[in-house]
Structure 1
Amino acid sequence: MSKIIKEKLADLGYHFIPPAYLQNDDEYFYRNQQFCFDRKFRNLTQEEIKILIKNDNHSHNWDDVLVTDKFLPEQIQHSKFYGLVRIGDMDDVYLNFRDLRLPCGIYNSTIISSDFGSTVAIHNVRYMAHFIIGDEVMLANINEMETSSSAKFGNGILKTDDVEERRIRLELCNENGGRSVLPFDGMQAGDVYLWSRYRNDQELQTRFQEMMEAQFSPHHGFYSEIGHHSVVKNTHTIKDIKMGSHAYVKGVNKLKNLTINSSAESYTQIGEGCELVNGIIGYGCRIFYGVKAVRFILSSNSQLKYGARLINSFLGDNSTISCCEVLNSLIFPAHEQHHNNSFLCAALVKGQSNMAAGATVGSNHNSRAADGEIIAGRGFWPGLCVSLKHNSRFASYTLIVKGDFLHELNIRFPFCLVSNEAATNRLIVLPAYWFLYNMYAMMRNTSKFQSRDKRKFKNQYIEYDVLAPDTVNEMFVALAEIEKAVGKAYRDENTETEIQALGRSILLSEERLAGKDVLLDNVEFSRRKVVLAKPKEAYTTYQRMIRYYAVTQLIESMESKSFTDLYTLVGSFPTTRSQFENIGGQLVPQAKLDSLLTDIRDRNVLSWKDAHTCYHTWSEQYLDDKFKHAIASLAEVTGRIPSSWDEQFMKELLEEGLETRRWIFAEIEGSRSKDYQNPFKQMVYDSYEEMEEVVGHLKDNDFINKEREGLIDFERSVKKILTSLSFVY
């Protein structure tokens, strides 16, 4: 039962910190560190006090209301002051923000032990306690602003003598809390990913927590902050808030225990009807219209809109969630989820993903406890009205066709289409679907996500290219799976190695597979058949795209190097293809990641900021790592080690790459032009000309035109390199 306590009015504004937690016996020890002001404060003069009282102001102790020499008592009206209050420089001006014009000063407000920067406009703040307000801040029509002495501002820390139950945790990827992490300001998707994994490594888990706690003080007495040039208006409750500069908050119901990062370059806005509790909000975020978020991290330049609910979740950079519910999920950068009837729960989604209307990912449990998980590679796209079951795993760029998938799935084929064949009750997996049937949408992904990356400080390399070390490695896995499936379709009694070799020979031969059912094992946890559709086309396409990936990397290097220099360089590379890990959208060679984890265990890395330095170093080295991976991939897919690559091999490779680039462009243009040729697309318009006016002219399509220019540049580069190799093109 809560209890209302009576205390002396003269004590209001004092004894904010319990005596046991005072530092140097100074109640304002941390407050003075937070409030950096370059002017001296002084006591009020008797004349100024008279003017203040005349203007219906009150203080129990005017000696504790301190001002600078630029003080205008006429601009303090109908307000009450308790405890130590410091007011910065004032000026005979008003502040104007988006047509909200407020005179400088403090009006109709109750202020308890707070500090104000220069030229602030404080109007109708009914209760403000223990806040530090920056320069040129506008506060209007706020019911309650307060701070507790043990404020943590959304970080998962404990203050002195706090009990463990008070710690904020994000229960990610799994509803039973078995992968929970402790949030902190500056936490990146890579941090969360690493911390939520390796659960059997207790030493590493302990070090992760120590690294986080080392960044924060356990002491009591820190004040809430509203940064310079921020505007807060028409808001109900603000408690335990650390808000950056240039933020804009309007019509909010509740902000509690939050860090809100904001700056002039990347300002954050929070709008009407929102309730945000126990979270960290990154730079440049937009949160509007009835959003509910609890125990969350919203990374930079992301959006929550239109009643979205984000609970126990991490949302990566450049993402949007609106009209829907996301629970217990870890989501990497560039996620899109816009529909009121989509639902995402207990999932790890590795970015560049899209949730269609009616998609329900992870809502149905298949055990007696809430311990299911779903893991999806980047580019994940569950289509309209898709329902997926825990536990499931999906390779990168998996598209799932409408339907209820009643069994656990393990899809190891990137760029594939997964669908139910209702008439025969079979699961159909079509590998390389995106390349074969929707090249426009596939290749548009890279430029689309790059253009949406609004980070002002891109100190971490997020891979947006559809052809990258992670997807190429997955294609190699898929090639082996196709070989085994085809071999088994012809001869099931041999060893797995013999079956795979047989499948490879059939796939590389002229033999057609028409009429032969090729089935997959260990894809769905059910007794029904799982059919591998178009295995030969998929096999050929995967190989072609791997070679093309390598060629694009080679061309960039060969434009600045002679063949001899390139030959020497690649000869020094490892011949084994490296494994890469996607940590928060950043691709990292597994060996480098293992080295970082070892350094963390050995205390060579002492804080998460040190870990971020490693991320930044990896980003600088990534293109070199990607190039080495491309060379090893090319050696593996062609069966020729780099020392055997002669000029003839390189000529054939470049010519094939150019042919592939032309094919890609033709597919991009062709898949988009189908929309203009489809009579059902045209039937809602009176004429073809009206359709073009509504949807735009195909010839004006920005992406197609950029790809056409890119093809011309690619042709020019290949011709130049071929000429340098003394071949006639």
Structure 2
Amino acid sequence: MDRVILDKLENFSIDFVPRKFLVDKENPYLLRNRQSDSSRFRNLTSREIEILVKHNNSAESWDRVLVTDHFNPNLVKNCEFWGLVRIGDLQSGYLAYHKLRLPVGLYNSTIISCDLGDNVVVRNVRYLSHYIIGHHTILFNLDEMITVDNAKFGNGIVKEGETEDVRIWIELANENGNRAILPFVGILPADAYIWSRNRADRKFQQKLKELTDKLGDTRRGYYGEVGDHCVIKNSRIIKNVNFGSYCYVKGANKLKNLTIQSSADEPSQIGEGVELVNGIIGYGNRIFYGVKAVRFITGRNVQLKYGARLLNSFLGDNSTISCCEVLNNLIFPFHEQHHNNSFLIAATVQGQANIAAGATIGSNHNSRAPDGEIIAERGFWPGLCSNFKHNSYFAPFALVAKGTYYSELNIKLPFALVSPADKANEINIYPGYWFKHNMYALARNSWKFKNRDKRVIKEQHIETDYLAPDTVESMISGIEILRQGICQAAGKEFSIAEIIEQQNSIDGKLQVVLNDFVYHGKARVLKPAQGLHLYYQMIAYYGGLALYEFLKTQSFKSEKELAAALQERLTEHHRKWVNLGGQLVPAAEVQKLIDDIKSGLLDSWQKIHERYDRLWEAYPRQKWSHAVYSLLDLYEITPHDLTFERLRKILKHVKEIAGQLLKNAFKSREKDYTNPYRKMTYENEQEMEAVLGKIEDNSFLVEFENEVKEMQQQIDGILAKLV
């Protein structure tokens, strides 16, 4: 049990690092001097000491207060100095941030073994211990700001003399802790994903732990750092926290064991009532208004606000969480969750998701064990007050309607609307719903994600297009699932072409039921033939767009020349892809990455990140090849079968589908203007337009329409050449 002890005053400032752990017993400041330039400081003159004493300052020993040549003792008042304190230039002037203006200098503060940069403000800091403060930084109205000798600043390492049980793990994706990872400065969602998966590969897991330990230093005695141009004000307890430059902290209750990354281009801000413990905070974060976060990691350009609770979770870049409770999650970039009565527990959410109010993803104690796991691929949108049972899986762009889902779900059809059926343990599933009825939201989201990516440095690569290898492979699988379901319901075999040809008849007569989507239940498919046809069209569109991009920049004199050029550009056809934190990578390349880590070829996290970069450089060509191969497979042809006449048909089809998608986008937005129940709250058309704006002025729709029309015109130009 910790106790209050009484010791001699002469021991007050010694043994910051216990002597048995000192790196150099003759120089207790070895690590401190590596963090801060000690060569520019000198001893005080007798005149300077006289002025300091006159201004009601005291020191354990004035010999241990060092200053620079541009030090002004008149700017130091009512301060206590203990241990070795080094003070940079202090020149008459003030620092200003927003409307706050404070004179440069040290006032009414207790300072213990610190290095202070040039022209800082340290005012009303009751206890400042073992920190290195950058230039032009403001510390104002702080209760306690200290660093201890074994500080780790949020990194999952252990210091000399410590036991393994003090190591901080982040328990992602599962409440039982068996997918836990170690946090470190610079960690990416991709790192967290490969680490949280592959749990049976013990050698791989051990290698990742060793790579993380290499990043840290087991030696004790590192000081906390506050970068240049920081403002930290009106806060209570700060312990073992590193602050990047241009960081702004106001009114925090407690900050402990953290690294807050910040820069001039991507400044981070921590606001009122916040309590953050054991975390790595990314560049450009905004964390305000009563947020509580413990054992957590945030990526770049993340917002936490309005009482959000984030525990044992990784929140990816460009994400916002407000109000709600989020526990034991790995969340990829572009995640939105804004509502106080929603919570998300024990899930891997693979980005571009939006969690609605009242969504309870994690029933917590639906058995005698912790919750299992939920995996939701890109574009997961659970509706208001929807709740699920673990374990469940959701294919890309699953839109789940409000309801209580009593059994585990295995939603394998992408771009589908899932809703409860009339009978318990049954669901309805409408494949391809997004393309038909919600195209505005689907297209706008891809546009929105690109526009809202405020990261200056994009370390985590992110695919934002709704048509990409992961979603297309899911549609390819979906076509076969629907074909088999239709054949089973009809009691006879159909080809894909026959289903498309007889679409209306099949959807009007057959009731298709899938038995492996709901545990001990059934999934009734709404308009299965239409869904199959929509998947077919979108795969054709995906591949046709790739050919359009290829033909847009070059022309060919013969079909043979075209086939040769296509064959030359096509890479290996990868059918299985992995979403690495937002970046799509062929599964074979991920396995090679894992093997290279195990073999020692990739022997640092930096080298792993460089591999991600090289994979991203290869991705555009791989994606293009995947699109072309998907089209060829759909039509059951080879590159040599792409005659000019067939290309003309493909491009005309692309032009037609693009026009239909534009029409669907307008139609799905238009209902807000034409539905009488949407209109009834407005006095007249003019008031509705004043509130909603005119649909023809919608900036996204205008841009989308211009893009489609430009593409259609360019296709017409290509068609004229394909003779």
The TM-score normalised by the length of structure 2 is 0.97
The equivalent position to 1:522 in structure 2, one of 516, 523, 536, is 516
The equivalent position to 2:563 in structure 1, one of 532, 543, 567, is 567
Contact persistence 2:253–2:273 (CA under 8 A): yes
Determine the C-alpha separation between the residues in 2 that align with 1:566 and 1:583.
34
Contact persistence 2:189–2:460 (CA under 8 A): no
Residue number in structure 1 paired with 2:283 = 283
Contact persistence 2:460–2:582 (CA under 8 A): no
- Which segment drifts farther, 571-580 or 161-170? 571-580
CA deviation map 1:271-290 (0-9, x unaligned): 00000000000000000000
- Give aligned-pair identity as a percent: 47
- Which segment drifts farther, 327-336 or 674-683? 674-683
Contact persistence 1:365–1:372 (CA under 8 A): no
Contact persistence 2:425–2:520 (CA under 8 A): no
Determine the C-alpha separation between the residues in 1 that align with 2:176 and 2:426.
33
Superposition pairs of residues 175-574 of structure 1, within 5 angstroms: 175-422=175-422, 426-491=426-491, 502=494, 504=496, 506-510=498-502, 512-513=505-506, 514-527=508-521, 529-563=522-556, 566-572=562-568, 573=570
Residues 1:657 and 2:654 aligned together:
yes
Contact persistence 2:573–2:625 (CA under 8 A): no
CA deviation map 1:43-76 (0-9, x unaligned): 0001100110110000011001000010100100
1:371 CA displacement: 4.7
Residues 1:685 and 2:682 aligned together:
yes
Contact persistence 1:418–1:429 (CA under 8 A): yes
Contact persistence 2:513–2:523 (CA under 8 A): yes
- Which segment drifts farther, 504-513 or 389-398? 504-513
Contact persistence 1:116–1:132 (CA under 8 A): yes
Contact persistence 2:375–2:393 (CA under 8 A): yes
Determine the C-alpha separation between the residues in 2 that align with 1:510 and 1:99.
70
Determine the C-alpha separation between the residues in 1 that align with 2:198 and 2:239.
35
Taking structure 1 as reference, are residues 67 and 199 closer, same or farther at Cα in structure 2, changes over 3 Å only? same
- Which segment drifts farther, 710-719 or 353-362? 710-719
1:633 CA displacement: 0.6
Determine the C-alpha separation between the residues in 2 that align with 1:362 and 1:269.
31
Contact persistence 2:426–2:518 (CA under 8 A): no
Contact persistence 1:558–1:566 (CA under 8 A): no
Give 3-state SS (helix, strand or coil) of 2:539's partner: helix
Contact persistence 2:413–2:474 (CA under 8 A): yes
CA deviation map 1:547-573 (0-9, x unaligned): 111122222222223346652233243
Contact persistence 1:67–1:86 (CA under 8 A): yes
Determine the C-alpha separation between the residues in 1 that align with 2:379 and 2:523.
23
Determine the C-alpha separation between the residues in 2 that align with 1:34 and 1:103.
27
Residue number in structure 1 paired with 2:29 = 28
CA deviation map 1:332-387 (0-9, x unaligned): 00000000000000000000000001000022444321150000001000100001
Residues 1:598 and 2:590 aligned together:
no
Residue number in structure 2 paired with 1:647 = 644
Determine the C-alpha separation between the residues in 2 that align with 1:212 and 1:466.
34
Residues 1:631 and 2:628 aligned together:
yes
The letter of the residue matching 1:170 is I
Determine the C-alpha separation between the residues in 1 that align with 2:523 and 2:707.
39
1:11 CA displacement: 2.4
Determine the C-alpha separation between the residues in 1 that align with 2:293 and 2:589.
35
The equivalent position to 1:720 in structure 2, one of 679, 696, 717, is 717
Residue number in structure 1 paired with 2:72 = 72
Residue number in structure 1 paired with 2:138 = 138
Residues 1:589 and 2:586 aligned together:
yes
Taking structure 1 as reference, are residues 123 and 24 closer, same or farther at Cα in structure 2, changes over 3 Å only? same
CA deviation map 1:83-103 (0-9, x unaligned): 000001111001011111111
Taking structure 1 as reference, are residues 648 and 99 closer, same or farther at Cα in structure 2, changes over 3 Å only? same
Give 3-state SS (helix, strand or coil) of 1:363's partner: coil
Determine the C-alpha separation between the residues in 2 that align with 1:40 and 1:13.
23
Determine the C-alpha separation between the residues in 1 that align with 2:642 and 2:497.
24
The letter of the residue matching 1:567 is A
Determine the C-alpha separation between the residues in 2 that align with 1:425 and 1:614.
45
The letter of the residue matching 2:676 is P
| Number of residue pairs the alignment of both structures matches | 716
Determine the C-alpha separation between the residues in 2 that align with 1:69 and 1:566.
74
Residue number in structure 2 paired with 1:494 = none
Contact persistence 1:173–1:346 (CA under 8 A): yes
Contact persistence 2:415–2:433 (CA under 8 A): yes
Taking structure 1 as reference, are residues 503 and 532 closer, same or farther at Cα in structure 2, changes over 3 Å only? farther
Determine the C-alpha separation between the residues in 2 that align with 1:425 and 1:269.
46
1:510 CA displacement: 2.5
- Which segment drifts farther, 560-569 or 585-594? 560-569
Residue number in structure 2 paired with 1:495 = none
Determine the C-alpha separation between the residues in 1 that align with 2:135 and 2:599.
44
Residues 1:616 and 2:616 aligned together:
no
Residues 1:16 and 2:12 aligned together:
no
The letter of the residue matching 1:521 is N
Give 3-state SS (helix, strand or coil) of 1:330's partner: strand
CA deviation map 1:288-335 (0-9, x unaligned): 000000000011100000000000000000000001000000000000
Give 3-state SS (helix, strand or coil) of 2:143's partner: strand
The TM-score normalised by the length of structure 1 is 0.96
Determine the C-alpha separation between the residues in 2 that align with 1:83 and 1:574.
65
Contact persistence 1:239–1:255 (CA under 8 A): yes
Residue number in structure 2 paired with 1:101 = 101
Determine the C-alpha separation between the residues in 2 that align with 1:555 and 1:216.
50
Determine the C-alpha separation between the residues in 2 that align with 1:151 and 1:335.
32
The letter of the residue matching 1:603 is G
